[in-house]
Structure 1
Amino acid sequence: MKRICLLFILIVSFIRVNAQANGRVSGKIIDADTKQPIEYVSISIFKIGVASPFNGSVSHTKGNFVISNIPNGEYSIRIDFMGYKSATIDHIALSNSVRAISLNTISFVPAQTQLQNVTIVGKAPMVENKIDKLVYNAANDLTSQGGAALDVLKKVPQVTVDIDGNVELQGNANIRFLINGKPSSIFGASLTDALQSIPASQIKSIEVVTSPGAKYDANGTGGIINIILKDSKVQGINGAVNLSAGTRLNTASVNLGVRKGNIGVNAFFSGNDQFNTTTITTNDRYTTDNTLNNTTHLYQKGSGNFARSGYQSGLSFNWNISKKDELTASVGFNHFGNHTNGITNQDQMVNESPSENSISDLLSLRNSNSRFNANAIDYSLAYKKTFKKEGQELDVLYNSSQSKNNSYSFQQQDYQTGNFPSSGTMNTNPGKDRETDIAIDYVQPISKNFSLETGVKGVFENINNNVVTDTLAAGGFVPNADQTYGFNYKRNVYAYYLSAQFSLFGFFDAKAGLRDEYTNTRSDFPNAHIPGYNILAPSAILSHKIDPTQSIKVSYSYRIERPDYNDLNPFYNISDPHNISTGNPNLRPEIGHNYELGYNKSYNSGANFYAGVFYRYNTNDIQSYTTQFDTLNVGGTKYTNVFLNQRYNVGTETTEGLSLFGSVPVGNKLNLRANTMFADRITTNPGNPKVSGFTYRLNLNTTYQFDQNLVAEVFGNYNSSQRTIQGTRPAFFSYNLAIRKLFFNKNASIGFTTADPFTKYVDQRSLTSGTNFTQSSLRQVPFRTFGLSLSYKFGKLEFKKEKENDDNNGGLQAPPEN
């Protein structure tokens, strides 16, 4: 914290020295006919007698604009936007006595000419840094084409994705994932499978919120990642088709948008299929038993085949009932699943200590098979009401998500020495997860520079599952009553928040709030009891715009991590009897304190730079922990030489880090981008030594535009290894090449992508150690892929002028004039 405060003081000192010109001009742009605000209008300010503008801005969602840091002098302002007549405002004078001028509401007159067959070409910056979030625009991401959401996330600043699809935000894996701003039960069932089932072609943008405000749920100590899917709100019929075929993954997506007047409908279908791949795994384990001090050496080597598939579909309906009333309804269906099977050779040798004499040498062959699938339905209904007063707004949301999940596992061990009979288990674990959210939010402007926002929310979650186990006996698999049980878990969260947005000392734009959440939890699993608890979660963001090209912000948020479905589920996965995993119904919530200081700078050339330092402090930190058992009794069946992996509240975790992002155009054709992150994570576990694990992530991207229709991209990503509380996490390096050609007047494209083309396997080496045991592991994961992608978009924008709504006609617009 001392280092963060020192850096903040230096930046503020720099600002006060350099920000000498602080005059400002503000206003609001509205349509002269409809009286509705217009966004993205270009406002340019000129010095008197100078032909070129020296500063400018664009209007925001409510039509507002502000141009800051204007020296004393006399100016004129020009307002431009396609489809409207240009407007000029002269004789704007700023002086020591007049530092701020408000132009109030400016009526912008539409042009009378009819636009026909207009083609609009625009490209948003790949990364946008806003006051409360960072936005990664995925539409122009070439190397992710034909991939999935996980491939896009690798490009997002401050996000880390390992080879197995585990995602971290600023070094923290406890992330709240949303789709279009709403929760979905698919993320609780299997986060990696859910992210792998969303095609990259379906993603419009990804929003990263590292310090969420009071309006957001307090859940997720790492922050929030919101995946925005593509839709269309323009008049007419618009759509797109995306197809890709590769050596490892096939994807397809179809989007269709229809809008006539004030009613619009969007529909989509997307899916992918990951081909069967074979991973080679080697485990080398040494353990010492707790009684006789004999040493056991277990060597396992085998191969596993893995396949994954999934699809999504959805339908949304939007109705602008009147100028101030909007209703949106949506329904979506999600399916994904995976299948693993393999054969492992095992050699278990027991030696007497200290003589090293051999006691036994047991050879065995293990066959395993597992399946997982999930089906989820999400549906929501949202109502938005605006009022005559600018900024006054009411939002009501009902959102419900329910999923049905099923896990199956089978394993059988046949012994080649020792004259032991074959052993094995077969499990099925069907379950249901339902979450319903009801929220009401209200914004009340008090003055031009001060507004209040408040709201209430209820979250109702119900998880239940059943475990049925059969055990191999002399006559085959028979029911095992000791490993057959049910598990029900209910959690209700009631929340209220109040936040304010205001200007502080005329220097900072501030947003501060407090959220109160009460959680009530019930579980019928034996010896599992979590009492109800209440938290107060404060949050605050201070930002200052030094000039139109640079800004700083500092933020704090209090976060909580509630255990999810997989963390809690007490189902024992015994697909490998020497490596068993299970959930922990007694997990307590993790508490996090998040601090962040960021600086953003953009240049006229199109270059952009962001630097941020962050500090995280978590208590009751939830982490996976491995315990070694000489003998483990699971429902009456004894397993020997077992590693049991389970999630625990291990103590505290402190993370300090630095995140850097830069984008630099070189001429008109070449663009260079880089993401880097450096972090040190310190974990304190009572009764164990403090563990410090430094890690870094390097991400480089190069794009070259050969001509208007041909572009190529190279992307490389490296995640360093990191020390954990019980060993090391493996490093991961990958690289991608892509090229895309546009044709049919840029309505269609064909692309080629490849990942790690010169390497068949990516080696993943890790080490795990603890009291009386040590294990080294090597996984050889096939990652090389080649693929082709095709896309086609159809439809056009309609700019026909429509008659103004009549408040007495039920809110329906009249048909367009001919």
Structure 2
Amino acid sequence: MHRIIIPILFLTLSIFQGTAQQQQKPITITGKVVDSDSGQPLEYATFVLQSAENPDQVTGGITDLSGNFEVEASPGTYNISVEFISYKTYSLQGQTYNSDTNLGSITLSPDVAQLAEVEVVGEKTTVEVRLDKKIYNIGKDLTTSGATISDALSNVPSVNVDIDGAISLRGNENVRILINGKPSALAGFGSTEALQQLPADAIEKVEVITSPSARYDAEGTAGILNIVLKREKTLGFNGSVNVYAGHPTNGGITANANLRTDKFNFFTTIGYRYREGPGNGFFDTRYFDPRQDAFLDSIAYDRNIEDRNYDRINRGINTNFGMEYFFNKQSSITASYFFRGGSDEDLTTNANDYLLANNPQVGTTRSELETEKDKTHQISLNYINRFDEDGQVLTADFQYAVDSEEQNGFISEPVRYNNTDNTDINIPREETYETQDQTEYLIQSDYVLPFGEDSQFEAGYRGNFENEVTDYRLLQENASGILELNVNQTNIFDYTQNVHALYSQYGSKFGAFNFLLGLRMESTQLKGKIESELTEEELQEEFSFPIDTDFDNTYTGLFPTVNLIYEFSETENVSLGYNRRINRPRGWFLNPFPSRSSRTNIFQGNPNLRPAFSNAFDLGYLKRWGKMTLTSSVYYQRETDAFQRVQEQVFITGPGGSQVEVVRNIPFNLATNNRTGAELGLLYNPFKWLRLNGSLNFFKFSLDGEFNGVDYSQSNNSWFGRFSSKVTLPGKIDWQTNAFYRGASDEVQGRSDGILSINLAFSKDLLNDNATISLNVQDLLNSRKRSSFTTTDFYDQNSEFQWRQRQIRVSFIYRINEQKKRGRPGRQEDYEEGQF
């Protein structure tokens, strides 16, 4: 830091040089500072002129974006020195200059000793704590090479990614995902599927924001995960290529390139991935009373055993390219385009055995082939103006994104055996066709105004406008073997969510005390229109609850935030945060037409859902020792009108008007949810070759509510922990182990067993550290399975589900003009959201 400040001091001292020297006509000394290995210009290098006759007389300057410097001085004899962090100092003694002089290119060589120090420091600063968030640098995580963003998030403390890909924060799935501080099509429209397709190599860091300031969306009662993508700041051309392959069959390539000049920054990333994801499931359902199934032609059974196999093929391509133009050192504008395309095939084979008094009655094999094609386009514009060095900043953003998905399902269920007297059992075929078209606009502007050295005011506006149209058709085979349209299930659902937000916040520091106070106002409009051949009255009869086929609801709320930190020292502090949050139901939670995960199990949305609101408190403590960092917190959250899924036994209309009994999963504003928890994290670097990281999160929640006369009140304790170790073996081979365990927990209607998962990774640098080869094993013990027991008023069920089996992957990364462990200061510190 002192090397950046020194030139300013030099320029100040030069004002007070002697009178005789001031009367001389000044001369100009110019030149350029470059890296000795790559020839790249070095920005912010320090050039110093010291008078040989009077060493107290000093002047100098800093190199610009192109590595150039220009310094005015009086004619005379000088000692020259050029310094840059992590490089050896260049010096010349007794140089006489009586006229303007160009020194040409001055080359600096890396200082190996300093580089080693920088590497150690980098390991220690993996966790950063700010007033409203914790920042985790996951760039050094070996297990993410060739993996997806979703895989990378599973290694972040406080975060859990379950076997279905659902992301939770401190055990709460209502978490808001942002990309570079903003909602983005890169994170998907309200889902996490896109994160399972994008490469983890694009991530620089993940911000875990459990007590968001007023700058951030009020959406997400659990908090916010902000994924910050990499952006190169160094001049010249650089890039990297990552190629990987593994078993079960998966492979891909990701390449990125960056070209930066003093006026332009061009950047691009492109990737292709192919992945086969075999999985399996087992479901044993025991009904309290025998039931008749219209599809099985009135065969009675009281038990159904399902043995499922999942064969998935995921293909995807993603690309992002853009350009940043620098008007000057203070302001720039960035334009970028993002595209993601996917073509997936999922084949689910489900062997069903229907029993009565443990005697097999009928066996079928249900085959469901689902194909999906999706395309996402996003255009982004960003303007930033740093008015002065004090931190006054104005930013403006615009995003436009469109997404189209086409999902087709082909379902058949031939009979394997029949031990009954009825020989006419024929389960009809089904075909489903669904398209989703989504559009999103985002307009945002933020302004930061510092007051002195320790205070800051901030204000801004964000408008987020989303529309989603879902067109769903269900065809079922009739008695004549012809597919006909099921008008009771076919529909078009047009859903719109518009959110306007205004916020302001003020932060300051008084000695060891820091605070950040904010207030955010959000106005939400939720609109939905259902087009169906059924009338509203017929829909209510079909779905057994009131339905508004054309609703338009507006909610306006104030969301205060308070974040406090008291610093006992530079290495110890305590923090306190409070915030009010909102949980808005997404479109698929509102669509009343069922989606069919199986013939007898459906998920159905509820257009009557209202947003849920929460108040949360968080008390944290941080302590750093020489080789150890401790982070801890206790938290409490109270959520009202929380919507929970419940299972009900209902009848829906099947082929020919038959009434088919199914298990319906449907969300309702069920209860008040109180959640209390504590978490502990420990980072320990006992030696340069060993890094240990562990975290533990314990939480308890209690529900208080009932539905249709059924009391769903319950209390539940659960916990999860993770451990990571990184060891440098002989031969400079890095070995990393990540272990995760989620404890057993009680659910609304049952209990889930604990889950253990272990990942291993080995890596070795090659070709003068320009390349890295790594071996990665995901779920070493093949134990990442969800086992659960569910009980309702009409059945008990034991189940086991494994989304993806153990995976082995080898990756090779080659870097062009990128140094793996050498950091170079950038043009200027990028403005970062919530940096105060």
TM-score normalized by the length of structure 1: 0.80
Distance 1:40 1:160, change over 3 A: farther
Determine the structure 1 residue equivalent to 2:63: none
2:572 alignment partner AA: Q
Identity %: 26
Match of 1:154 in 2: 154
Deviation of residue 598 (structure 1)? 0.9
1:716 aligns with 2:739: yes
1:371-382, aligned counterparts within 5 Å? 371-382=371-382
- For 1:778, the equivalent position in structure 2 comes to 800
Q: Is the 8 A contact 2:87 2:108 kept in 1?
A: no
Letter in 1 for 2:495: Y
The answer on whether the counterparts of 1:185 and 1:433 sit within 8 Å (CA) in structure 2 is no
Partner SS, residue 423 of structure 1: coil
For residues 635 and 489 of structure 1, do their structure 2 counterparts lie closer, same or farther at Cα, with a shift above 3 Å needed?
farther
Equivalent position to 1:541, from 563, 573, 584? 563
Cα distance in 1 for residues equivalent to 2:827 and 2:679: 50
Counterparts in 2 of 1:445 and 1:219: CA distance versus 1, 3 Å: same
Which stretch shifts more, 638-647 or 678-687? 638-647
1:547 deviates by 0.9
Shift of 1:414: 3.2
Spell out the pairing of 1:763-774 with structure 2 (5 A cutoff).
763-774=785-796
Q: 1:681 aligns with which of 694, 701, 710?
A: 701
Give the CA deviation at 1:244: 1.4
Partner residue of 1:659 out of 671, 675, 679: 679
Q: Which moved more, 1:111-120 or 1:569-578?
A: 111-120
Instruction: Determine the C-alpha separation between the residues in 2 that align with 1:602 and 1:803.
Output: 30
Deviates more, 1:114-123 or 1:525-534: 114-123
Q: What is the DSSP-based 3-state SS (H/G/I as helix, E as strand, rest coil) of the residue aligned with 1:195?
A: helix
Say whether residues 1:174 and 2:196 are aligned partners: no
* Distance across 1 between alignment mates of 2:507 and 2:747: 40
Which of these residues, 340, 356, 359, is aligned with residue 334 of structure 1?
340
Q: How does 1:686-705 map to 2 (within 5 A)?
A: 686=706, 687-705=710-728
Q: Which residue of 1 aligns with 2:817?
A: 795
1:15 matched to which residue of 2?
none
Deviation at 1:413, TM superposition (A): 2.9
Q: Which residue of 2 aligns with 1:627?
A: 648
Offset at residue 28 of structure 1 (A): 9.7
Residues 278 and 494 of structure 1: CA distance in aligned 2, closer, same or farther (over 3 Å) = closer
Separation (CA, whole Å) in 2 of partners of 1:443 and 1:537: 20
In 2: Cα distance, 1:278 partner to 1:151 partner? 17
SS at match of 1:567: helix
Give the match for residue 259 of structure 2.
258
Cα distance, 1:780 vs. partner? 4.9
2-structure distance, mates of 1:41, 1:503: 32
Mean Cα deviation higher: 790-799 or 619-628: 790-799
1:584/1:185 CA distance change after superposition, 3 Å: farther
Rounded Cα–Cα distance in structure 1 between residues aligned with 2:804 and 2:503: 48
Gap change, CA 1:116 and 1:778, over 3 Å in 2:
same
Check conservation: 2:368, 2:409, Cα contact below 8 A.
Answer: yes
1:114 is aligned to 2:106: yes
Once residues 127 and 334 of structure 2 are traced to their aligned partners in structure 1, the CA distance between those partners, rounded to angstroms, is: 28
Show CA shifts across 1:168-192 (max 9, x none).
1011101111222221235445734
Which one is further off, 131-140 or 772-781? 772-781
User: Which residue is equivalent to 2:638?
Assistant: 617
- 1:704-756 deviation line (CA, Å, top 9, x unaligned): 11257321112211111211111123422111222111121111111112234
Alignment equivalent of 1:420, drawn from 425, 447, 472: 425
User: Which runs of 5 or more residues in structure 1 are unaligned?
Assistant: 1-24, 43-78, 87-110, 805-818
1:727 is matched by which residue type in structure 2? Answer: G
Kept in 2: contact 1:186–1:374 (CA 8 A): no
- Three-state SS of the structure 1 residue aligned to 2:314 is strand
Q: Which amino acid aligns with 1:296?
A: D
Q: Which amino acid aligns with 1:521?
A: L
Q: Which residue of 1 aligns with 2:51?
A: none
Corresponding residue of 1:407: 407
Match of 2:319 in 1: 313
User: How far is 1:29 from its partner?
Assistant: 3.9
Q: Distance in 2 between matches of 1:452 and 1:803?
A: 25
Amino acid at match of 1:751: S
1:697 CA displacement: 1.0
Cα 1:747–1:572 shift into 2, 3 Å: same
Residues 33-86 of structure 1: per-residue CA shift (max 9 Å, x gap) = 9999x99999xxxxxxxxxxxxxxxxxxxxxxxxxxxxxxxxxxxx99567999
Query: Are the equivalent residues in 2 in contact too, given 1:411–1:575 (CA < 8 A)?
Result: no
Assess if the C-alpha contact under 8 Å between 2:4 and 2:44 holds in 1: no
Judging changes above 3 Å, is the alpha-carbon distance between structure 1 residues 203 and 444 closer, same or farther for their aligned structure 2 residues? closer
Query: Is contact 1:115-1:800 (8 Å) kept?
Result: no
How many Å apart are 1:304 and its aligned residue? 2.7
Q: Deviations over 1:488-546 (max 9, x none)?
A: 11221111111111135x44210011101111222112514252110000001001221
For the 8 Å contact 2:88–2:109, the answer to whether it is kept is no
Between 276-285 and 402-411, the greater mean CA deviation after superposition: 276-285
Higher mean displacement: 791-800 or 424-433: 791-800
**Residue type of the alignment partner of 1:364:** T
- CA shift, 1:163, in A, is 1.9
How far apart are the structure 2 equivalents of 1:114 and 1:541?
Answer: 48
How far apart are the structure 1 equivalents of 2:826 and 2:672? Answer: 60
What is the CA–CA distance in structure 2 between the aligned matches of 1:128 and 1:251, rounded to whole Å?
32
1:195 maps to what in 2?
Answer: 195
CA deviation string 1:692-713 (max 9, x = no partner): 1211112111111125732111
Gap regions ≥5 residues in structure 2: 13-41, 47-82, 91-102, 293-299, 531-535, 537-547, 829-836
Structure 2 counterpart of 1:274, one-letter code: R
Is this contact kept in 2: 1:410–1:575, CA < 8 A? no
TM-fit CA distance, 1:164? 2.1
Please identify, of 201-210 and 531-540, the stretch whose mean Cα deviation from structure 2 is larger.
201-210
Alignment partners' CA distance in 2, 1:433 and 1:35: 56
Q: Encode CA deviations 1:410-440: one digit per residue, 9 max, x unaligned.
A: 2223345432333132111101111111111
Is 1:462 aligned to residue 482 of structure 2?
A: no
In structure 2, relative to structure 1, the CA distance for the partners of 1:788 and 1:688 (3 Å cut) is same
SS in structure 1 at match of 2:150: helix
- Contact persistence 2:234–2:824 (CA under 8 A): no
- Counterpart for residue 238 of structure 2: 238
* Counterpart in the other structure of 2:505: 499
Quick check: 1:162–1:719 contact (8 Å CA) kept in 2? no
Query: 1:225 Cα deviation (Å)?
Result: 0.9
Question: Please, which moves more after superposition, 507-516 or 361-370?
Answer: 361-370
1:520 corresponds, among 513, 521, 525, to 525
Query: Bigger CA drift: 793-802 or 411-420?
Result: 793-802
RMSD, aligned α-carbons:
3.5
**1:671 corresponds to:** 691
Alpha-carbon distance between aligned partners in 1 of 2:397 and 2:186, rounded to the nearest angstrom:
20
Q: Distance in 1 between matches of 2:45 and 2:685?
A: 25
User: What is the alpha-carbon distance in structure 2 between the residues aligned to residue 455 and residue 35 of structure 1?
Assistant: 37
Report which stretch shifted further, 265-274 or 641-650: 641-650
Q: TM-score, normalised by structure 2?
A: 0.78
Would the aligned equivalents of 1:208 and 1:225 in 2 still touch at CA under 8 Å?
A: yes
Counterparts of 1:706-785 in structure 2 under 5 Å? Answer: 706=729, 709-757=732-780, 759-760=781-782, 762-780=784-802, 783-785=805-807
- Distance in 1 (CA, whole Å) between partners of 2:626 and 2:823 is 31
SS at match of 2:146: coil
The question of whether the paired residues in 1 share the 8 Å contact of 2:233 and 2:826 is answered with: no
3-state SS in 2 of match to 1:214: coil
Q: Do the aligned residues in 1 keep the contact of 2:163 with 2:802 (CA within 8 Å)?
A: no
Q: Report if aligned partners of 1:163, 1:732 keep a CA contact under 8 Å in 2.
A: no
Q: Distance in 2 between matches of 1:114 and 1:544?
A: 46
SS in 2 for 1:421: coil
